[in-house]
Chains A and B, each alone.
Chain A
Amino acid sequence: MTETPTISSEDMAGLVAGREALPLLPEGAPGPVQHAGMWWAIPTGETDYRPVTDPAQIVLLDRNTQRYAAARVATARAREDGGSP
């Protein structure tokens, strides 16, 4: 039986800094992070990152990633337009 891989919060912060991992939110670790084609998160009460395997959690993270990206695009567009139409 293979053991679940883990990444420490510090290592994940390094991966985020090196752009090898993409965090969901701007503050990065210890929040959820996309790395190596999958979501990683620290379960409540633990200290290390583990792959997210729960389909419901993956849907939640994917949907919020899309929404947050759309929000960033809208903010950037408003900034370019100077707040005018």
Chain B
Amino acid sequence: MTGALTALTPREFAERALVGTLLWQPGRILDIAAWLDAEDFRTPANGVVFRHLRDAVAEACGRVQWGTVQVHAEGGSGRTSGVTDADEALRTVMVIADNLSDMREHPSSWSDVDIEAERHACADASARCAAEHPGLLQQLDVSARAEIDAVLALASVNPYAVPGVDAVSLFERISASTEPGDRSISAPFLHTLMATAPATSMGQPEVYGQMVLEASIRRQVQQAGMRVAQASQTTAELGGLLAAVETAVNDLDVAQQRWGIVNDGHIGTTSVDRPSAASLRSVPQRVDPDTLASRLDLVAPMPEEGEVATAEETVLAAVLVRPDTLSGLAARLHPEDFADDQLGLAFRAAIDVHTTARATGSRVDPVTVVWEQQRHAAQHGAGISVDRLMRIVERGPVGDLGYAAEVVMRGRLARLTVDAARAVQQAAQHPGLQPADVLHTTRLAYDAVRATVTRMSGEPSNPSPDAGGDSRPHEPVDQPGGSPGRSSAQVIQLRQRAANLRNAILVDSRNAHGSGRPVHPVQAVPSRDAEQHVERDIERGMEPDV
């Protein structure tokens, strides 16, 4: 087992093992496909491979009789093989034959995976060679034909091989697909699947399929509003990460109490240790994995960087195509959750447009999003370019929006936890900080993780009566419009009023010029000072006062 595989969750391992085993033994898929759908896979990429493999085998079944490896001299039509040159096909067979000969002579130097791969490749290459170039094999000399006969005898060990269906042809098939989600499948991914599968003789695809189906049924039952046991989900990657955070917070509580007792005789008397009344009200509650499980997949592995990037583009593409999804999504997924700042800003703009749609009459589409983004460029940054946004829209969502949003959230949690750990480490090593400062910094860092998890789970977290139910007490979040305590709609209204006031100043100054009245220096131009004054009021969340 490689190090990479140890990070797999049982559910992901079962999915990969199933697809990997079926890549080795494609003949077993049709029986499984009678009761397992591609949509049953939690990870969309695994479902894509399953779907294409199922279809490829079904098509192959319509062409040839199979059940054992058959090298037939006729047919071959409809194959998408890249082997078109007779010499190349023959060379391929001979190279593989040499390898298999070497395997027989030096079996200890070849792994089971290599032997299986060579057997499979040989069977396929021979079948293609015989089908596309009948009579070619007979041109070989006697020793070569004997070798190939031996090779084919070895290949017949795999009774579930399907001529014309292997990893290479499957990759060609997926690459030629026009489905947006299919383009994320790479050749190394297929190789990884095959490497994940147990040896062919040990593989139990029906058992793995049953596991995948069980997990899918649990998800469906949960989504339908019914409870289901979570007993099998105990080795969570994300759950383990959150448990580590909770352990750290508990240790922190003990440390703070001991520090207070040692220094002051009672707990928390230093100004730094003593939390304000507001912060006490807004401290996020303990993260309860059982509560979160229904909203966030705690058994999912930490997403990789590329997976997060794809998921973020999918979320943005999906909300642009179906803006109504923003209503439910915006409460759990925030712009700062995006690793790519440009995509986060575009998502923020989409939320703002969607939130104010009733008042402004405009709805979310690429144009309104880019426009809204531009309006706040000075405040938040330039954001995504039109070209990139259009490419994302044209490519469309890759897979399921819910899954993509969850990948983005899991990625955010992973980064946030790493940042928290780094902040704690830096504080601990800083010579100028007192222990109370370090404890305080640690508390803030871990509470940020807690608050984010609580928000993503969709559970309300200790709403503060004074804070208007703000559930993000410690998250490092920039409020839309930069005005704490104000909604996007309110900020936009204030900005509109400010713009009107600026226009009034401008008109007033022009009238003054035209009338010959003496013009005060401040009024001679649309007063920059007055503008800044208005902006400051808005930033402070106050009504502009001019």
Q: Is B262 an interface residue (CB 8 A)?
A: no
Specify which of A26, A31, A41, A67 is in contact with B35 (CB 8 Å cutoff): A67
Would B225 and A31 count as touching, CB distance under 8 A?
A: no
Residue of B nearest to A73 (CB): B35
Indicate if A38 sits at the interface (CB-CB under 8 A).
Answer: no
- State the CA gap A74–B32 with chains docked (Å): 8
In the complex, what residue of chain A is closest to B232 when comparing beta carbons? A27
Instruction: Give me 26 A-to-B residue pairs in the complex whose CB atoms sit less than 8 angstroms apart, sorted by A's number.
Output: A25-B214, A25-B217, A25-B228, A26-B214, A27-B231, A30-B228, A31-B228, A41-B221, A41-B226, A42-B226, A46-B227, A52-B226, A56-B224, A60-B224, A64-B217, A64-B220, A67-B35, A68-B210, A71-B36, A74-B31, A74-B32, A75-B206, A78-B206, A78-B207, A83-B201, A85-B160
Cβ of B101 within 8 Å of any chain A Cβ, yes or no, is: no
Size bin of chain B's contact surface? 20 to 34
CB-based nearest A residue for B294: A44
Contacts of A25 in B (CB 8 A): 214, 217-218, 228-229
**How far, in whole Å, are A25 and B31 apart by their CA atoms in the complex?**
21
Q: Confirm or deny: B34 has a beta carbon within 8 angstroms of a beta carbon on chain A.
A: yes
Beyond A83-B201, A84-B159, whether A43 also contacts B210 by CB under 8 A is no
Q: Please tell me if the beta carbons of A57 and B201 are within 8 angstroms of each other in the complex.
A: no
Given contacts A71-B206, A75-B206, contact A43 B225 (CB under 8 A): yes
B210, chain A: closest CB distance, angstroms: 4
Which residues does B use to contact A, with CB under 8 Å? 31-32, 34-36, 67, 159-160, 201, 203-207, 209-210, 213-214, 217-218, 220-222, 224-229, 231-232, 294
Provide the A38-73 mask, 1 if CB < 8 A to any CB of B, else 0: 000111101000001010110011001011101110
Determine whether the beta carbon of A85 is less than 8 Å from that of B159.
yes
A31–B213 touching, CB < 8 Å: no
- Contact A24 to B217, CB < 8 A, known contacts A42-B227, A67-B36: yes
In the assembled complex, which residues on chain A have CB atoms less than 8 Å from the CB atom of B203?
Answer: 83
Which residues of chain A have C-beta atoms less than 8 A from B209's C-beta? 71, 74
Bitwise, A13-34 to B at CB < 8 A (1) or not (0) is: 0000000000011111111100
Q: For this complex, into which size category does the number of interface residues on chain A fall?
A: 20 to 34
Chain A residues whose C-beta falls within 8 Å of the C-beta of B159 in the assembled complex: 84-85
Most chain A CB inside 10 Å of its own CB: which residue of B34, B206, B207, B227:
B227
**Max chain A C-beta neighbours (<10 A), residue from B34, B67, B214, B224:** B224
Contact between B206 and A30 (Cβ–Cβ < 8 Å)?
no
Question: Contacts of A42 on B, CB cut-off 8 Å?
Answer: 226-227
- Contact in complex: A71, B224 (CB < 8 Å): no
Chain A residues with CB below 8 A from B220, complex form? 60, 64
CB distance from A28 to the nearest CB of B (A): 7
Report Cα–Cα, A24/B213, bound state, in Å. Answer: 12
Q: Which residues of A contact B221 (CB under 8 A)?
A: 24, 31-32, 41, 60-61, 64
Q: How many Å lie between the Cα of A83 and that of B206 in the bound state?
A: 9
Contact, CB under 8 Å: B229 / A28: yes
In the complex, the chain A residue whose C-beta lies closest to that of B203 is A83
Question: From B223, which residue of chain A is reached at the shortest CB distance?
Answer: A60
**Contacts of B32 on A, CB cut-off 8 Å?**
74
